[in-house]
Amino acid sequence: MKKNYLSLKPIALAVAMMSAGTCAYANQNQTILEDVVVTAAQMTTPTTIELDPKVPRQPLPAHDGADFLKTVPGFSVMRKAGADGEPNFRGMGGSRVNILADDQNIFGGCGQRMDAPTAYIFPEIYDKVTVIKGPQTVLYPGHGSAATVRFEKEQKTYDKPGYDVHASGLVGSFGRHDEVVDANLGNKDFFATFTGSNSKSDNYKDGNGNEVHSKYHRYSASSSVGVTPDNNKRFELSAGRSDGYAAYADRMMDGTKFLRENVAAKGQIKNVSGLIEKVDFQVSRNTIFHTMSMAMRGNPSSYMDVTHDTDAARVITDLNLRATTKAKVGMDYSQSTHGGNMPAHGYTDIREDSVFKNTALFAEITEELTKGKKIIAGYRGDYWNIKDKRSAMSSDTAGQTRTELTNSGFARIENQLSSLHNTNSFIGIGRSERMPDYWELITNRRDGEGQSGGSNYTNDNSSLISTKTEKTYQLDAGLIHKSSKFEAGVSLFYNQIKDFILVDARNETYTSGQYFTPTSRNVDAQTHGAELTTTYALTSVLKFNSSIAYVKGKNKTDGLPLAQLSPLEGRLALAYDDKKYSYGALLRLVASKDEVAIGQGNISGQDIGKSGGFGIFSLNGGYKPNKKTLIAAGIDNLFDKSYAEFISRTGNPMGLPLGYVRTTRVNEPGRTAWLKATIALD
C-alpha cells in the first residue's frame, strides 16, 4: 500500500498543485524567470515546445541533437555509447520523429543505424529548437507522425554595422571538453555568419566504475554570407562541414567517419502584395560519407563505407486571405541516393543501392473564429518514387520502382478559455501517412518468408514492394496555463496506427544472414499517453519544477505490448536564482518496465527485456558576473548510481577490446562533473 502511494505521489502532487495554482494565481501577467540550467523543458504553446540551445542543460548532453532533446518530457534516447543516441518520442523511434536542420532533412547513412540524423546536428550553433507534438503540422519535409523537431538558425540582420558573438567552453569528467563559437556580423546591406564547434570525450565509466567503450570526437564549421537589398529582401548562401568518430559499446564496429557536407541557397521576400505576406525558398545539398570500422579495435582493414546524398528544394508562401484568414502553402522536393561498399566481400567502390524521390504539396490554413479562438487545418500530399538499384544477386526487386501517393492532414481548435484566465486549450485530430524509410524498405527484409538459408545478405527477400505505408490516426489535446507564480502544461494523445511498421528481429523466422537482417512487418498498433509540466514560484527567487511523461501501447496483431515504449518518468527540480547566483537540484525518477516485446522495435533497436526503476539525483549552480557572461556547473548522477535506460542497446557484445565488461544494456555514465562558461558579445 505504501509503495503504491509513493509511486502515485508525483502525479497527485502535480495535480494538486495545478488546481491550487489555477485558483490562487490566475490573472497576473508577470511570468516566472527562465531556468539558468534547464532540467525539464516547459511547453511554450499547447502544441509546441521552444528551446534555447545556447542555455546549459542537465544532465550534460553529448554535443549532438538527440541528447539535447532528453530534457523535453516525452523524449528518451537510446544509448549506444557516448554520442549518437537515437531520439524516441512517446515510444516512436526512427523516422517517426522528423529531424530538420534549417528545414532540411539530414538522413543518416548507416545500414546498421550508427548515425541517426541528430548525429550530424550540433545544437549550440543553432538559435532555436522547436518541437511540434503529434501530426499537428504539414509544413515540413519528412512529415513526422510522432513529432517534428526543427533546429533553426535565426539570421540576424543589422541596420548599422554591428556584430553578435556567442562563445562557450566546457570541461567535464572523462576528459570531456567542448568549444563552440557562433559569430554574426553585418551592416544594412550585408551579413555574414561563422559557426564552429569541437567536442571530445574519453571513455566514460558507469556507476560501477566499469569503463564503457564510448570515446568520441566531433567538429563542425559553417559559414553563410548574404545580402539585404532592402528591409523586405534577404538572400543567403551557406556551406558547412562536420566530421568525427565515435566508439560504440553495443556492436562490433565503431563509427570512424561521419562526414557531412552541406551547401544551400536561401531567400526571403516579405510584403510582396496585400495577399502575399512572405515567400521563403531554398535549395540545398547534403552529403553524408560514413565509415564504420574496427580501426579503434586494432583492425583497420575491416571496414565499410556508406554514402547518402540528398538534394532538396522548398518554397513556402504566407498568404493573407482575409482579415481573419491566413494560409501557408508550399512545395517540397527531394532526391536521396544511398550507396555503399563491402570490402569484406571484395567490393571497395561505392555502389548505389537506392534512390528515393519525393515531391510534396502542402497547405495550412488558420481561421480566427472569435478573439482567442481559432481553427487550424492542413493537408499534405507526398508523391514518392523509390528505385531499387541493387543487383539481382542482392535483391529480388532489383531494378524495380515503387511509386506511392501518401496523404496526411489535421485539424485543431485552439481556444483561450474564458472560464480560466491565462489558459489556452486545444483539441486536434490528425492523420499521418508515413512512407517507409530507407532502412525499412532497403536494409530490412520482407515479412512472411522463412530464413533465406544463411546467405550473406537479404538476397531474395526485399521489402521494397511489400511493406505498406504506416497510417497514424491521432487525437491530441492540451491545456497550458501561465500566471505570475504558476505555470502548467498538459498534453494528452490517443492514436490508432494502421500498418505500423514493426521491425521484428525475434528469432530466425524474422532474421536472416550474417547481419541478422530483421524484418519490416506491418501490424496494427495503438498508443496513448500524456506529458505534464508544472512550475511553481515559491518565492521571488525560489521555484519548483515538475514533469511527468507517460505512454502505453499495444501491438494488436501479435497480441503483445508495443515495443520501445519508455516507462513512466517524473522529474522534480528545485531552483534558486537571484539573477547573480543560482542553485538547482534535480531528482529524475523512472519506473520499472514489465510490459515488453523482446526482439521487436524500430530501425533504431528492439526491446531487450524488462528493466528496473531508478532515481538519479543531480545538482547544478550558476554565476552571472554580468549580463553577458554565465558560468554554470553541475554534478550529474551525484550518487554514482549504476543504471541503464529501458530503451537502450545491448551492452558490450563480442568483439570489443579486452578489459570491457559485458552488460545487459549500455550503462549510463556514472558521476559526471562539468563546468561551462558562456559569453555573449554584441
Residues that bind Cu ion (CB under 5 A): 110, 114, 292
**3-state class of 270 per DSSP?**
strand
Query: How distant, in Å, are the alpha carbons of 126, 165, 455, 636, 676 from that of 196?
Result: 11, 12, 45, 26, 17
Beta carbon of residue 252, minimum distance to Cu ion (angstroms, whole number): 11
Beta carbon of residue 342, minimum distance to Cu ion (angstroms, whole number): 12
State which residue, 119 or 562, has the beta carbon closest to Cu ion. 119
Beta carbon of residue 292, minimum distance to Cu ion (angstroms, whole number): 3
Beta carbon of residue 341, minimum distance to Cu ion (angstroms, whole number): 12
User: CA 587, CA 614: separation in Å to the nearest integer?
Assistant: 10
State which residue, 110 or 377, has the beta carbon closest to Cu ion. 110
How many Cβ atoms from other residues are within 10 Å of residue 660's Cβ? Answer: 16
**SS3 per-residue string spanning 130-179:** EEEECCCCCCCCCCCCCEEEEEECCCCCCCCCEEEEEEEEEEECCCEEEE
Residue nearest to Cu ion (CB): 110
State which residue, 10 or 255, has the beta carbon closest to Cu ion. 255
State which residue, 17 or 294, has the beta carbon closest to Cu ion. 294
User: CA 14, CA 489: separation in Å to the nearest integer?
Assistant: 11
Beta carbon of residue 110, minimum distance to Cu ion (angstroms, whole number): 3
Query: How distant, in Å, are the alpha carbons of 113, 470, 651, 667 from that of 656?
Result: 19, 37, 10, 15
Beta carbon of residue 444, minimum distance to Cu ion (angstroms, whole number): 16
Beta carbon of residue 259, minimum distance to Cu ion (angstroms, whole number): 12
Beta carbon of residue 288, minimum distance to Cu ion (angstroms, whole number): 11
**3-state class of 543 per DSSP?**
strand
The residues near 151 (Cβ < 8 Å, ≥ 6 apart) are 53, 65, 99, 100, 101, 102, 121, 123, 126, 129
β-bridge pairing 162-172 and 176-186: antiparallel
State which residue, 41 or 292, has the beta carbon closest to Cu ion. 292
Per-residue cell: 311: 538534394
User: CA 378, CA 97: separation in Å to the nearest integer?
Assistant: 19
Largest interatomic CA distance in the chain: 73
State which residue, 503 or 635, has the beta carbon closest to Cu ion. 503
State which residue, 142 or 340, has the beta carbon closest to Cu ion. 340
State which residue, 257 or 278, has the beta carbon closest to Cu ion. 257
Beta carbon of residue 290, minimum distance to Cu ion (angstroms, whole number): 6
State which residue, 38 or 110, has the beta carbon closest to Cu ion. 110
Beta carbon of residue 244, minimum distance to Cu ion (angstroms, whole number): 13
Per-residue cell: 377: 487545418
State which residue, 110 or 146, has the beta carbon closest to Cu ion. 110
β-bridge pairing 423-434 and 445-446: unpaired
**3-state class of 541 per DSSP?**
coil
Q: Are 620 and 672 in contact (CB under 8 A)?
A: no
Quote the radius of gyration of the chain (alpha carbons, Å): 24
Beta carbon of residue 450, minimum distance to Cu ion (angstroms, whole number): 28
State which residue, 110 or 551, has the beta carbon closest to Cu ion. 110
Q: Are 423 and 480 in contact (CB under 8 A)?
A: yes
| CB environment 602-632: b (16+ within 10 A), e (fewer) | bbbbbbbeebeebebebbbbbebeeeeebeb
